[in-house]
Amino acid sequence: MSEIGHFINNARVAGTSGRSQPVYNPATGKSESSVVLASVAEVDAAVAAAKAAWPAWAKTPPLRRARILDRFKSILWERGDQLAEAISAEHGKTHDDALGEVTRGLEVVEFAVGAPHLLKGEITENVGTNVDSHSLRQPLGVVAGITPFNFPAMVPMWMFPVALACGNCFILKPSERDPSASLLMAEWLAEAGLPEGVFGVVQGDKQAVDALLEHPDVAAISFVGSTPIARYIHQTGTANGKRVQALGGAKNHMVIMPDADIDMAVGALMGAAFGSAGERCMAISVAVPVTDKVADALIEKLIPKINALKIGPAADKATDMGPLVTAQHLEKVKGYIDAGEAEGAKVVVDGRTFKTDKQGYEGGYYIGGTLLDNVTTDMSVWKDEIFGPVLSVVRAKTYDEAVDVIGQHEYANGVAVFTRDGDVARAFSHDIEVGMVGVNVPIPVPMAFHSFGGWKASLFGDHHMHGAEGVRFYTRLKAITTRWPTGMRNDPEFVMPTMG
């Protein structure tokens, strides 16, 4: 059995902690490798390498940093299939879905290649007599990213391309469930010309996370994961004097108005609710049809499509939806369906009964798509982020009632409305208290040159990810005021200086 280790100073490094855990193929339920779990000393070594590399990297002209990222971008284009295969083998998502993940991450690399433009400061001549003022954006130093299992390539690429372009050194702590993608990206960055120490990978669990959160030489932490952990990351990181952006959980709603194109809404829901087996922080997990007539029509059209989902391993090109990531998560998702049924929801399509008939994959972590009707806001299936292929229908009598359902939720990551009415679309977009809004777009993930992030308990910290917000997060502003000897007064001034 192969062992997946760390990446420090542009080389793979075996673990020395003596701790490891299996890495499973969700399609078969079998362990095909193991991942080492870092000790505090191993985290210290990665940070020390980054700290040593940072002065030279920070002084490297931004254009040279951008050229390295541009070469990395070309490698990603050429070897995207290889990275997608590694993702599918450890996460379980289909190859096309994994390739889509790689492409969305690559878009942030493309954005970061243009970061020299965003690093420009401002200048004002003669703010006072013979006095000029200008500003600079400078890197923070060593920064770290702690990333989730559901996007082992894309989410790291939301972080490190921008951080590197801004002149920081970066330590990645990927999910221990699917760690291989991190090492491929690290090797390709080194191949593109990134100097030793600038990008490192430490595999691990909570011990590695806490070591990064408490390390005095780590200036900032980026995180994507569940809300309880995001809250912990933010509280612990800021208590240790770090800048933190921690993206948490989500419960994304789609409002379907009476004038909506119902077939368009159904197609959008199928992809948004069941793509990647619902293991997306931007998955639509709640449909809110306005009026019973719309709800009945929606459910009638959803039932045959959910029943027709092709569920199986990524190796089968016909697969629409792969397995869940672990056996434990499979039982958790089934438990939510049990709870919803016990609380009064109607199980219209029951994914708990699904069993694969594909030889060799009987032990995989498969579940069918599930549709629940008559869900109310006091049920756990509405309150909690299930992170599985479970779509709940909350019926609303009016537009205002639909908006109120969304407003009650503690999460405010993404939301969508399907309508032909421009007035409804504009009012919804401006008034809804959610960070990312789609109008006839089911998963409103912004492009790389915009920024990604939710509101309320979906985000802890002041900055969203990538785009201009990412540049602001990974840099600090310095203001410089300059006056030269010509025309200067030599006598002391004891009053508050002014620039008039």
Give the list of residues 6+ apart from residue 330 with CB closer than 8 angstroms, or none: 323, 324, 365, 366, 367
Q: Is 166 a catalytic residue?
A: no
Distance in Å from the first CA to the final CA of the chain: 73
User: Which residue in 119, 155, 281, 294 is the catalytic one?
Assistant: 281
d(CA 398, CA 429): 17
Alpha helices in 114-255 (DSSP H): 115-118, 154-165, 180-191, 206-214, 227-239
Q: Which residues contact 388 (CB under 8 A, 6 or more apart)?
A: 277, 278, 279, 324, 329, 332, 333, 336, 367, 370
How many C-alpha atoms does 449 have within 13 Å on its Cβ side? 7
345-364 per-residue burial string, b: 16 or more CB within 10 A, e: under 16: beebbebeeeebeeeebebb
Strand order in the sheet with 475-483: 123-128, 131-139, 475-483
Indicate the DSSP class of residue 445: P
User: Between β-strands 6-8 and 370-373, what pairing exists: parallel, antiparallel or unpaired?
Assistant: unpaired
**Distance from C-alpha of 38 to C-alpha of 237, rounded to nearest angstrom:** 19
Tokens of 294: 């719309």
Tokens of 243: 């800048």
- For residue 117 the two structure tokens come to 């433009």
Who contacts 497 (Cβ-Cβ below 8 Å, separation ≥6)?
none
Beta-ladder partners of 479: 135
Nearest C-alpha neighbor of 459 from the set 248, 221, 229, 237: 248
In 3D space, the residue among 221, 118, 107, 209 whose CA is nearest the CA of residue 157 turns out to be 107
Query: How many angstroms from the chain centroid is the CA of residue 89?
Result: 20
- d(CA 323, CA 225) in angstroms, rounded, equals 20
Distance CA 271, CA 322 (A): 13
Query: Does residue 450 sit in helix, strand or coil?
Result: coil
Interatomic CA distance for residues 68 and 77, integer angstroms: 14
Contacts of 485 (CB under 8 A, 6+ apart): none
Catalytic residues, by residue number, are: 281
